Amino acid sequence: MIGASSVEVFCFQSAVGQNLFSKFVTGNLRPAQSPARVMTAGVGGWIAPLRSLMRRESYPMAVNANNSPIHKDRRAFLGAGAALVTAALATGDALAQEPQKADGRSASDAGPENQKVREANPNTFLPPSTDHGEVPEFWNSFSTSHRRIQQGGWSRQITVQDFPLSKEIAGVNMRLTAGGVRELHWHNAGEWALMLSGNARITALDNDGKAFVADVSKDDLWYFPTGNPHSIQGLQPDGCEFLLVFDDGKFSEADTTLISDWVRHTPAEVLAKNWGVSESAIQGVYAQPPDGHYIFQLPIPGTLEQDRRAAAGAKGLSPVKFSFSLRSMAPTFKTGSGEVRVVDTRNFPVSTTIAAAHVVVKPGGLRELHWHQNADEWQYYIQGQARMTVFFNGSKARTADFNAGDVGVVPKTLGHYVENTGTTDLIFLEMFKADCFMDLSLSDWMTHAPPSLISQHLGISEEVLRRLPQDKAPIMPA
Ligand code: MN
Ligand code: MN
């Protein structure tokens, strides 16, 4: 955890800092508070609980021609199931989440349908009545991405080519077997990563030419800046799978500088001169695959200490921390309904171009209505089920469902929420091409403006306004 003094220095140096600073000067925060508290207050309400399970009964439900619900999880949750939904549809009950087509017959769908896709997208099939207008697609999924499979593992990616809204960030999902290597390489983009499962050894070279070697496991992060060479190798017992996040939507895993590819395309007499060895000693280079290895199978490496010693040489190891343990970090914010860990340059200094929030929302909980001032949000769903409505301004709003492996994008400054619609914890990442995480909360705004002004805008009494979550108050019990 960073020290209070570094936070205070930081506060005067960046836009996030200005936000925190304004809270200092308005007396909302005491400078003596711990960095964790400072960051907590800076991000507002974060996660709100579901106020009543009754609200869930008013969710839009996918119905088939017989007016019976399609979504299995929600049917189980409701218990009352089809009858309840049918009644809600038939009466056109004026509930907040009333579907657009209040008449079950109007919403029926007797024609061809990709049933599995439809079941995974109940809020698309039967949208909330508040959804309106044409908006760009903000949903995508690794589960519909081509896998490049080689001996030693595979990769798949989502770039701006596949997902036009994903301009600032490209994502790659990769698996390596035990011993499988993502070849020594670098690229023209910064690489942030989260280990999703298993174990790996990562290596890198810092800007002083010093070596970094570390073993990473589930929930560990790493960041390799643009141009710094690195490698990843799966370890026992079953290799690993991880998510890579690049600070450029145009990044492609097919366009990286591979050590074998480059060297293989350099004349032997030049290589021999460069390395000060004979040409006959380097003929093995030209036996490598003509376009590089990319991913290939190797034996399990030796111990971490052996590799570190060998890589350090006379220079010694790099002082730069290219990896970060998310598990060993206390939540930046925690309520009865979830917890958030913010990782950016404030606690992971090497990650200058990518800021992250790792979010856990308990069933029924809500990542509150909010927006981000400094960057587009790129989301990756790790576990559970969610729905998100993005408000695109000018009366345009759209709701989409998200499951593990899905990706969402919210353009900079657009209002949105993320709601856990499943029965397990929802876990997802909020990623930004930025040095710092920033957000503002609707509730925070509404409780820090003249109440009469807010009241007259929204037709909400000042008495009700006083019941809204207040700045840095723990958000209502679940
Ligand atoms: Mn890389
Ligand atoms: Mn967000």
pLDDT tens per residue across span 244-261? 999 999 999 999 999 999
Q: Which ligand is nearest to the CA of 253?
A: 1
- The whole-number average pLDDT for the span 344-358 is 98
Distance CA 16, CA 90 (A): 49
The predicted pLDDT at position 34 comes to 37
Q: Is 430 a catalytic residue?
A: yes
Q: Which ligand is nearest to the CA of 157?
A: 1
Residue in 338, 372, 341, 376 with CA at minimum distance from that of residue 358: 341
Grade residue 106 by pLDDT with cuts at 50, 70 and 90. confident
Quote the tokens at residue 258: 């591979």
The predicted pLDDT at position 107 comes to 84
Phi, psi for residue 218 in degrees, rounded to 5: -45, 135
Q: How far is the CA of 187 from the centre of ligand 1 (A)?
A: 6
- The whole-number average pLDDT for the span 401-418 is 98
pLDDT at 54 over 50: no
Domain 142-324 has CATH 2.60.120.10: yes
The neighbour count for residue 395, using CB atoms within 10 Å, is 8
Higher pLDDT, 51 or 429: 429
Which residues are CB-neighbours of 217 under 8 A, at least 6 positions away? 195, 198, 199, 200
pLDDT at 222 over 80: yes
pLDDT at 461 over 80: yes
Q: How far is the CA of 435 from the centre of ligand 2 (A)?
A: 16
Quote the tokens at residue 392: 């695109």
Residue in 71, 72, 127 with CA at minimum distance from that of residue 102: 127
Catalytic residue among 98, 377, 430, 462: 430
The predicted pLDDT at position 35 comes to 37
Do 202 and 230 form a contact (C-beta atoms < 8 A)?
yes
The predicted pLDDT at position 469 comes to 85
Distance CA 47, CA 175 (A): 32
The predicted pLDDT at position 134 comes to 97
- The whole-number average pLDDT for the span 437-456 is 94
- The whole-number average pLDDT for the span 155-166 is 97
Q: How far is the CA of 229 from the centre of ligand 1 (A)?
A: 8
Residue in 229, 241, 123 with CA at minimum distance from that of residue 178: 241
Q: How far is the CA of 189 from the centre of ligand 1 (A)?
A: 9
Distance CA 47, CA 430 (A): 14
pLDDT digits (tens, 9 = 90+) for 287-331: 999 999 999 999 999 999 999 999 999 999 999 999 999 999 999
User: Could you tell me whether strands 426-432 and 397-403 are parallel, antiparallel, or unpaired per DSSP bridges?
Assistant: unpaired
Q: How far is the CA of 156 from the centre of ligand 1 (A)?
A: 13
Query: CA 156, 158, 148: angle at the middle one, nearest 5?
Result: 20
Quote the tokens at residue 191: 């690489």
The predicted pLDDT at position 46 comes to 66
Quote the tokens at residue 350: 């090497």
- The whole-number average pLDDT for the span 252-281 is 97
Q: Which ligand is nearest to the CA of 257?
A: 1
Instruction: Name the residue ranges covered by the structural domains of the chain.
Output: 61-125, 142-324
Q: DSSP string covering 318-352, please?
A: -----EEESTTSPPSEEETTEEEEEESTTT-TT-S
Instruction: For residue 193, give Cα distances in angstroms to 225, 231, 243, 355, 374.
Output: 12, 13, 5, 11, 21
Omega before 237 within 30 of 0, i.e. cis: yes
Residue in 458, 362, 343 with CA at minimum distance from that of residue 418: 362
Do 160 and 137 form a contact (C-beta atoms < 8 A)?
no
Distance CA 232, CA 253 (A): 14
Which residues are CB-neighbours of 402 under 8 A, at least 6 positions away? 139, 379, 381, 385, 386, 387, 388, 408, 418, 428
The structure tokens 């695109």 sit at 392
- The average confidence (pLDDT) of the chain is 83
Among positive and negative, which fits the CA dihedral 357, 372, 167, 126?
positive
Q: How far is the CA of 5 from the centre of ligand 1 (A)?
A: 34
Q: Which of 33-47, 60-74, 278-292, 334-348 is predicted with the least confidence, judged by mean pLDDT?
A: 60-74
Q: What percent of the chain has pLDDT over 90?
A: 73
pTM of the model: 0.81
Grade residue 345 by pLDDT with cuts at 50, 70 and 90. very high
Grade residue 404 by pLDDT with cuts at 50, 70 and 90. very high
Distance CA 270, CA 264 (A): 11
Most confident of 74-83, 156-165, 326-335, 361-370: 156-165
- The whole-number average pLDDT for the span 37-57 is 44
Instruction: For residue 162, give Cα distances in angstroms to 105, 143, 392.
Output: 36, 13, 21
Instruction: For residue 38, give Cα distances in angstroms to 34, 213, 332, 340, 350.
Output: 6, 33, 9, 14, 21
Q: Which ligand is nearest to the CA of 187?
A: 1
Grade residue 114 by pLDDT with cuts at 50, 70 and 90. very high
Distance CA 227, CA 240 (A): 24
Grade residue 405 by pLDDT with cuts at 50, 70 and 90. very high
The structure tokens 């003094």 sit at 5
Q: How far is the CA of 197 from the centre of ligand 1 (A)?
A: 18
The predicted pLDDT at position 72 comes to 34
Instruction: For residue 235, give Cα distances in angstroms to 70, 156, 297, 327, 459.
Output: 42, 20, 12, 20, 59
Do 421 and 59 form a contact (C-beta atoms < 8 A)?
yes
86: exposed, middle or buried (Cβ count in 10 Å: 0-12, 13-18, 19+): middle
Q: Which of 49-53, 97-101, 136-140, 430-434 is predicted with the least confidence, judged by mean pLDDT?
A: 49-53
SS3 156: strand
Q: What percent of the chain has pLDDT over 70?
A: 77
pLDDT digits (tens, 9 = 90+) for 7-43: 333 333 333 333 332 222 222 323 333 333 333 333 4
The predicted pLDDT at position 102 comes to 61
Distance CA 478, CA 468 (A): 15
Q: Name the strand (E) or helix (H) holding 419.
A: strand 415-420
Residue in 426, 277, 423 with CA at minimum distance from that of residue 366: 426
Grade residue 101 by pLDDT with cuts at 50, 70 and 90. low
Grade residue 471 by pLDDT with cuts at 50, 70 and 90. low
